[in-house]
Amino acid sequence: MNVVEKEDRIKNRAMVTALNPVGYPPKVTRKSLANRLESLDGRTIYLVDCRFDDSIELLKQVQAWFVQHMPGVKTKLVSLSSYYGKDDPKTWEEIKASGAAAILGVGHCSTCAPAVTTHAIMLESRYGIPTVALHTDRFDKVVRSTAKVGGLPHAPAVFVPQPVMGKSEAELRAYVDGKNPLTGQPVMQEVIEGLTRAPQPLAVDSDRSTPRLVGPDTEENLHRLFLESHWTDTLPVVLPTEERVAEMLAHTRHAPDKVVGRMQATANRGEWELTVEKVAVNAVMAGARPEYFPVILALAASNISARSSSSSSASAMVVVNGPIRNEIGMNCGVGALGPYNHANATIGRAYGFLSQNGQGGSVVGETYMGSLGNNYTYNNLTFAENEERSPWTPFHVQKGFKKEDSTVSIFWGCRSTTFGLGLREKYWREHVRDMLAGVDAITAPVLLLDPITARQFIDRGGFDTKEKLIAWLHETAQMPAGRYWDLQLVQNYVYPRATYGEEPMASKLKAAADALIPTFDIRNINVIVVGGEANGYWQMMGATYRTTVSVDEWR
């Protein structure tokens, strides 16, 4: 084929117009920096620990640096009142009353970096306190994007190497004495300049529009565009043409321009809006059939992203209850958690698409920071509960819905999984206790029970309701308080809330080191019956229940 023939062939290819799957950006309100200090000498600078993974240890080295190099500067080291994700107006007021500036840190995870950035913007714009935020270099893009959404894209941020957790005093002091790995400038020089020199203001993007259409172009080029734009999970998709999207929209009474929900990669990153039509576009891309659309809309209405930026590599898990399961042919029996059911697979995939595109993207290193990643995120472990073969109340009825209601329930975590086969007569309690020890302490176990095993829990333990089984699990899952509080995840997420007085964490904190305390909050333990009785295999999934949404409201 010569060049002319090839060009003619390209010209004769059918041109396709597709719909853009990206949601609508958040509204950004421009904010202003506080006035910078002429000098730090004789002033009091607050060093604010965000209470994540040894952040305070780095700030201690910052404090030691001031003692050695700028003894005329007074420093006061404080910790946030609760965990890093909570606003702390009491501390901010103290800084305003008694301090001249603040250094916050350390942002060194995909959720604490946005939180530290947001706290810094709060101190600058609302309290008038010159502030520098310390982060590790791995999260520079996360920090910059959060600052843009916060209306202060030029908020001073200084970076040190990753990691901070577990480093010795000498290693952390080397960070402080060393250079910013991104700029090559001395870390403390940048800190001091951040408090005394106003950076060049950057423009704030206030455009909230998103093009509705993509193309026209060839199918081949559109597929390449969708892939290169990070609109897919990198597997092939169905192009969302006007006709296909219209077929999807015909299965709901709601108007195409109605806002269904709002998504963001993590707190403080800015909530993007999703309309009914945008959800339909993503459902088409996932290969979902139009009759699945109300379930997918209900997932969008949850406002819970299945594409969290969490560096913990969490994933969502979706459980469907009610008549809709059978209406659309979902699988709750043999292979329910596997790949062989069209509804299960494409509904979960659509949830992933609408989440990543509805929050403005899910890009590795920028809006997705999962250290290991999680294979469950391909379809978000989507399945139906086997209500017909369960000896207990369906999950959605436990949550206040009627049996004839159709719902979707979302869990979050799926980082720890243990499994077993049935319950032995003599030592089944000990075996279950061993399995509970394999579930991460900051979520809670969700028991995914084949009906065979569900009936064994009744026969062996007399648990004729889920509530009785849950109470026994809560009593069984215990560990010494000292060991519990030494868990890094507990230190990061539970300990700060306990010191703030939040129950039941606060009561746990009062226990002696060798006293046994419950590992999990009883309210977070759940039981789902799923499987086709091919055998009595069952799993414990470490996952936290988030919400249940009506499907019927979206028909």
Confidence of residue 119 (pLDDT cuts 50, 70, 90): very high
pLDDT tens figures, 310-325: 889 999 999 999 999 9
Inter-residue contact 275 to 245 (CB < 8 Å): no
Inter-residue contact 547 to 457 (CB < 8 Å): no
Q: What is the DSSP string of 238-285?
A: ---BHHHHHHHHTT-SS-TTSEEEEE-SSTTS-PEEEEHHHHHHHHHH
**Which residues, in sequence order, are bridge partners of residue 259?**
275
Q: Provide the terminal-to-terminal Cα distance of the chain, rounded to the nearest Å.
A: 52
- 9 has pLDDT over 70: no
- 232 has pLDDT over 90: yes
CA atoms within 13 A of residue 415's CA, in its CB half-sphere: 18
Pairwise CA distance, residues 551 & 401, whole Å: 11
Q: Average pLDDT of the chain? A: 94
Secondary structure class of 553 (helix, strand, coil): helix
Percent of the chain past pLDDT 70, that is, above it, reads: 98
Q: How is the chain split among helix, strand and coil, in percent rounded to 5?
A: 35, 20, 45
Task: Of 481, 490, 488, give the one whose Cα is nearest residue 513.
Answer: 481
- 207 has pLDDT over 80: no
Residue 256: cis peptide before it, omega within 30 degrees of 0: no
Task: Of 125, 271, 103, 287, give the one whose Cα is nearest residue 196.
Answer: 103
The CA–CA distances, whole Å, from 207 to 26, 142, 158, 213, 441 equal: 9, 20, 28, 17, 42
Per-residue confidence (pLDDT) for residue 14, from 0 to 100: 87
Span 228-241, average pLDDT: 97
pLDDT tens figures, 76-90: 999 999 889 999 999
Sheet holding 101-107, edge to edge: 74-79, 44-49, 101-107, 131-136, 157-160
Q: Which of 146-155, 198-207, 214-223, 461-470 has the lowest mean pLDDT?
A: 198-207
Q: Quick one: tokens of 167?
A: 């480093």
**Which residues, in sequence order, are bridge partners of residue 449?**
529, 538
pLDDT tens figures, 429-477: 999 999 999 999 999 999 999 999 999 999 999 999 999 999 999 999 9
CB atoms within 10 A of CB 207: 7
The residues, any chain, with a CB within 8 Å of residue 461's CB and separated by 6 or more, are 428, 429, 468, 469, 472
pLDDT tens figures, 490-506: 998 898 889 888 899 99
> pTM (2 decimals)?
0.93
Pairwise CA distance, residues 344 & 85, whole Å: 34
Instruction: Domains for the chain: give ranges and CATH numbers.
Output: 44-196 (3.40.50.10350), 213-416+545-554 (no CATH)
